[in-house]
Amino acid sequence: MSLESNLQQAAELIDQADGLLITAGAGMGVDSGLPDFRGREGFWNAYPALGKARIDFTEIANPQAFRTDPELAWGFYGHRLNLYRSIQPHQGFQILRDWASQKPYGAFVYTSNVDGQFQKAGFAEARIHECHGSIHHLQCTDSACGNVWPASDFYPEVDLFNCRLTSALPRCPVCHKLARPNILMFGDAHWVPDRYDRQYATCIDWLKSPKKPVIIELGAGLAVPTVRYFGEYQGHPLVRINVRDSEGEQGYVLSLPMGASEALEAIDDRLSKLTWDDQ
C-alpha cells in the first residue's frame, strides 16, 4: 500500500479508537534534538572521549563501569541527565496528548526511553511505563540496600572534553554508598526494579479497559526490540512509525517510514479533515 493510503488509514483507526497505547523507542527523541546512538560511529561522534578510548555504548552503559571508573561512568550519565533536562519535547508529543484527550480511556505510554520526555510534555506520571527505567531517578549501587530516589537534587558538573564528572559523586542517602542511575543497563544484575514493577502493573491494568485501542509505535528499532515485541503482543491494530525497519505483518501493522514528528503531524492533518467532514 502507498504511504498516503497508510497515513489515511492511520488517521481513520485513531479517529475510531477509544484508547491509545503509545509505544516509543529512541527514535521518538531524535526530532527533539537527542543523539542517536545507532552504531559505534554515531555514539562516538556524540562522545569523542569515549571514541578515543574505544569504549562502546555497551561498555559504558554497564554497572561494571561504576565500579571500575565511576567518574567516567558519571561523566557519560551526568551529561545525559543535563541534556535531557534542557531539551524540549517536539510538537509530536503535544499532538499525541491532544488525541488522547479526546478518547474515553485516554492513552498509556510504554517506552524504553529513559529521558523523561513524556513527563516533560505533560503526560501523567501514572500513565507511563518506563521499561528500562529513568535517568531522573537514582539508586544505590548496592542492590541489597535497594534504595531508589529522584535525581532532582543532583546537578552533575561534567568535563565534556574528557567525559568525566568533576563534581562530587552522588551517594545513597540511606547507606552512603555510590549512587547510579535507576536504569536497566547491559549485564545488569543490580538494577532495582521497584518503579518498573509498579508502572508495569498499572499498564497491564489499563490495557483491560479499551475495547478498540490502537497502538502507535514511534521510533522503536530492532537492536533492542522490547518495545516492538510488547506492542505486537497486544494483538491490536498497530501504526509503526520509524525511519528504519517500519515494516510489519500486512493487514496488522501500518508502516510509516517517517520520522516521529513528521508522521504525527501528517496524521493529525488528515484527522482534522475527518473531523471537519463529520460536522
Identify the weakest region by mean pLDDT among 40-54, 141-155, 174-188, 197-211: 40-54
The C-alpha atoms of residue 37 and residue 39 are separated, in whole angstroms, by: 6
Residue 226's identity, in one-letter code, is T
The pLDDT tens digits for 217-262 are: 999 988 878 999 999 999 999 999 998 877 766 557 899 999 999 9
Q: Would you mind telling me the total number of residues written for the chain in this entry?
A: 279
CATH class of 3-278: alpha beta
pTM: 0.93
Q: What are the DSSP calls for 21-86, one per residue? A: EEEE-THHHHTTTPPP--HHHHHHHH-HHHHHTT--HHHHSSHHHHHH-HHHHHHHHHHHHHHHHH
Full DSSP string of 132-163:
TEEEEEEEES-TTT--EEESTT----EETTTT
Ranges of each domain in the chain? 3-278
The per-residue pLDDT for range 28-86, each reduced to its tens digit, is 998 898 877 766 777 888 898 999 999 999 999 999 999 999 999 999 999 999 999 99
